[in-house]
Structure 1
Amino acid sequence: MMWLYFRIRLSQCCALSCSVLIICLAFIVFRWKIRRKGSVMNDYEEDLQLSLFDMSTISSATNNFSTDNILGKGGFGSVYKGVLKDGKEIAVKRLLQNSSQGIQEFKNEVMHIAKLQHRNLVKLLGCCVYAEERLLVYEFMLNKSLDYFIFDEKKSMLLDWTMRFDIINGIARGLLYLHQDSRHRIVHRDLKAANVLLDGEMNPKISDFGLARSFGGNETKANTRHVVGTYGYLSPEYIIDGVYSTKSDVFSFGVLVLEIVSGNRNRGFTHQDHNFNLLGHAWKLFMEDKGYDCTK
């Protein structure tokens, strides 16, 4: 009986020890996450002088991320419209928790756009890191993205040639700033109609710098084994050899100009006389001295 008593007591002690150990480990992990979060937030606050939003503030502004407030979706997550307590409208980019855009990619986008100031670049107002949540807070763009207009038969009628020219010119100015006039030469790597936003006066602003890369000193190009971006806008040398530079953005800009002028997407374009995409169709018309037909 005595032996059985000691055995029961030993089992109870072991169970108690395991419980204490689990509690201690949970506390250590919790403290580590708090320190990690604080470290990340301090980096943004000190290095980038970027406003930090509380999760409660963003949740309240977006009505707890209501589906009615969704402005758009992508591989990264969703963008929500929000209204702060002072009445200011914002756009909140909520990255998927299991997205490949992790903390480093999130910080990459913040670092590339936080200090950029140009009328043709979307303004980043701040960010929020809470537990596994990663949120970017941008100025709200009343007229959504460029593709919302140019690829819609009815809405495209709202864009006359003067407006289309002004949009093209504005995108070019923003791109020139990134490539030549900013502190570091920045390659966007994902310039497309969906990443050009329009404000209330239809002024274009380049957005989404999650894939951007910067060059310092005399660097002009780089190589990668992991080609990212949107097919249809990527330059041949980038797709084939993984080489990207400011010229890659210029190629994407050229595709975008053709889409703005023609109202057709490069990918998915069809023609009854051939199987070329929009670029091939435009080149064919150019060689036949019928370049203006691309606008029809």
Structure 2
Amino acid sequence: MMISSSASKILIGIPLDANVSVDLLGWAIRVIARPGDSIIALHVIGAMENKNKRQSARKQQKQFRQVKSFVINIMGELVETCLSNEVNMEARVGASTSPGRGLVEEARNMGADYLIIGGAQRKRSNRSSAISHYCYTNVPQGCSFVMLRPTQQPNLPEFEHESSSSWSEKNLSTENSFSSEENESHVKLKRPSPRTVLGICEEDLDSGESSDSCGVAKSSVSGKPKSPFRLISSLFRPSFDWRVAKKKQKGKHQPMLKCYTYQQIATSTKSFHNDNLIGQGGYSEVYMGIIGDGSHIAVKRLAKDNNNATKEKEFLMELGIIGHVNHPNTAQLLGYCIENGLYLIFQLYPNGTLSSALHGQASNGLDWPTRYRIVLGIAKGLHYLHKCCKHRIIHRDIKASNVLLGPHNEPQISDFGLAKWLPSKWSHHAVIPIEGTFGYLAPEYFMHGIVDEKIDVYAFGILLLEILTGRRPVDATKQNLLLWARPLMESGNLRELADPNMKGSFDMEQLYRVALTASYCVRQSSIWRPSMTEVLQLLTYGQDSEVYRTYPPLGMKPDEGRNKIITLTTRIEDTCLQMFEKYL
């Protein structure tokens, strides 16, 4: 995410105490940060003694995984605060011979404008004082060091005051947000040290080696070191600029994500054996596996031969987005792994995808009541993503193969690889290149790259027709489902529209409501498509809904009954459909 050159970088050392960390970060967001600034929350794992190296390495490995999960979850507590204050936030984890050294070196690496830590708790005053003293005496030139006193942390445990303090105000902002009564902080400017930080990964921990340069690899590295923990940071870099975002409704509490080891997922998938391959996309592969407790999982990994940095970014974006999603009708992410590649671990759904249920050999087993429940479930899941999630999420790839079916065929929207976070103040966003699945692409997205909720609504309309008819959006003969369905919908011939596999066994009222909703969703102009809130009203109440009474289908009066659905007279232009067909 791009920020202006005037934006400040604020590095905050956080302890493994959720309450203390949240309060410390909250203080920095409210007092130090200005709109557009970036706050980097960093926890540095201090190296253990060199004796008992093997035991030390094992302990550090375990601790490292725990800290990863901690920083991922603590960020969720601060999303609302960041949004309301228009501040960007990242989270990082590192290791060093001492926490103080790690903080100072990372401040130097990233060119931090501020380095902030908390004061010492009484029971840990010696260790905390050593950290603060090291930071105070070694802070890089141009970086203001701030140590909060007890009065500046009203919600934190009591801290000991430093016996002495020095205060250099020449590089400290005196803007209104930094009030005089909150200026009792230690600030000192020093020349930088040549050492580097955050050059360590879990494999380095295995060796039990330590160095003054915080786990730098044995081979020499030129230029600015890149932290392998950028993966953790990326989880909290949404694709939109928080500077123009607003607070959203609070979502449900996010479950703790587990950081799996590579050994765990390799064992569960039999070293990613081809027999366990259950799905393959443009940049990822999905394998089924069984973990130690007997649970079935699906492991999604970035394809080994994929060296595209953009795809890696999309993979990380998927982790960042789905890690903040929690709804009965969205796929459940269990955890992740960043050893030897990038992996997402999901719960394995026994009934496969909606696509296989509709078009596979057992497609005749999907009766109408099940289809109708699936329709409502997908609509609720999309409504959550658009309106109820902490962030405004546009999925961009709603289709039958991205809907998983649970034990009782309850639908879960999956595959957030193309999903976009969109600021509340933005009406839409334009993207290049155009990605998605032909047959589901809205005209404005296909032709102009315009992204907003209405492209998901359009895709959902196509999906409704697919569920209703049992036909693919584009079949083997390249026939377009919408072109095929249009005359039947205009004539009101719903029985002919229904999937023959249902053998005429369906609720006509429900069938009508689904067809009516589809006709609204696939309108050419996005302005005239309903929101997902209105979609739920149409699916539930049909002609009795406020949407229908206010905006009846074009060419049909409200009292004409349920014989015709003529919304499609606001039809997709033939030229647009011809453009689709060129790419099939």
Query: Is the CA contact (8 Å cut-off) linking 1:188 and 1:209 kept in structure 2?
Result: yes
Within the candidate set 279, 288, 291, 2:494 is matched to 291
* Greater RCO, CA 8 A, separation 6+: 1
Q: Which runs of at least 4 in structure 1 moved beyond 6 Å after TM superposition?
A: none
Question: Which structure has the greater CA radius of gyration?
Answer: 2
Fraction of identical pairs, as percent: 36
Question: Separation in 2 of the partners of 1:231 and 1:218?
Answer: 29
* Cα RMSD, aligned residues only: 2.6
Structure 1 unaligned segments of length 5 or more: list them.
1-23
Distance in 2, matches of 1:276 and 1:64, equals 41
| Alignment length (residue pairs) | 265
How does 1:99-178 map onto structure 2 within 5 Å? 100=308, 102-131=311-340, 133-152=341-360, 154-178=361-385
Deviation at 1:173, TM superposition (A): 0.5
Deviations 1:231-285 (A, max 9, x none): 1110011001111110000110011111111111011265xxxx85110111111
Against the structure 1 CA distance between its residues 230 and 158, is the aligned structure 2 distance closer, same or farther, given a 3 Å change threshold?
same
Q: Is the 8 A contact 1:269 1:278 kept in 2?
A: no
Match of 1:281 among 477, 481, 484: 484
Instruction: Tell me, in whole angstroms, the C-alpha distance in 2 between the residues paired with 1:200 and 1:238.
Output: 35
Deviates more, 1:167-176 or 1:74-83: 74-83
Counterpart CA distance in 2 for 1:139 and 1:29 is 40
Q: Which whole-Å CA distance do the structure 2 matches of 1:261 and 1:289 have between them?
A: 14
1:43, CA displacement in angstroms? 6.0
Give the equivalent residue in structure 1 for 2:396.
Answer: 189
How much has 1:291 moved relative to structure 2?
3.4
1:44 CA drift (Å): 5.1
Pick the aligned partner of 1:28 from 209, 220, 227.
220
Higher share of residues assigned helix? 1
List per-residue Cα deviations over 1:164-195 (Å, max 9, x = no partner).
00011100000000011111111000011110
- Distance of 2:220 and 2:380 partners within structure 1: 50
Conserved in 2, the CA contact under 8 Å of 1:69 and 1:81?
yes
Cα distance in 2 for partners of 1:232, 1:189 equals: 13
Q: Which amino acid in 2 is paired with 1:187?
A: I
Measure the CA separation in 2 of the matches of 1:66 and 1:225. 35
Q: Which residue of 2 aligns with 1:204?
A: 411
Compare 116-125 and 64-73 and name the one that shifted more: 64-73
CA distance in 2 between partners of 1:54 and 1:238 (Å): 39
Higher strand fraction (1 or 2): 1
Inter-partner Cα distance in structure 2 for 1:56 and 1:225: 38
Q: 2:449 aligns with which of 232, 242, 247?
A: 242
Whether the 8 Å CA contact 1:227–1:239 is kept in 2: the answer is: yes
Q: What TM-score do the two structures reach when normalised by structure 2?
A: 0.43
User: Does the 8 Å contact 1:112/1:209 carry over to 2?
Assistant: yes
**Partner amino acid for 1:28?**
S
Query: What's 2:464 paired with?
Result: 257
TM-fit CA distance, 1:201: 1.1
2:429–2:451 contact (8 Å) kept in structure 1: yes
TM-score using structure 1 length: 0.82
Q: CA deviation at 1:28?
A: 3.3
Decide whether the 8 Å contact of 1:285 with 1:291 is kept in 2.
Answer: yes
Structure 1's 284 and 89: CA in aligned 2 closer, same or farther, altered over 3 A?
same
Name which of 60, 65, 70 aligns with 2:267: 60
Would you say the 8 A contact 1:282–1:291 is kept in 2?
no
Question: Partners of 1:27 and 1:163 in 2: how far apart?
Answer: 60
Q: Is the aligned partner of 1:40 residue 2:231?
A: yes
- The answer as to whether partners of 1:37 and 1:129 remain within 8 angstroms in 2 is no
Alpha carbons 1:223, 1:243 under 8 Å: kept: yes
Which secondary structure state, in structure 1, belongs to the residue aligned with residue 373 of structure 2? helix
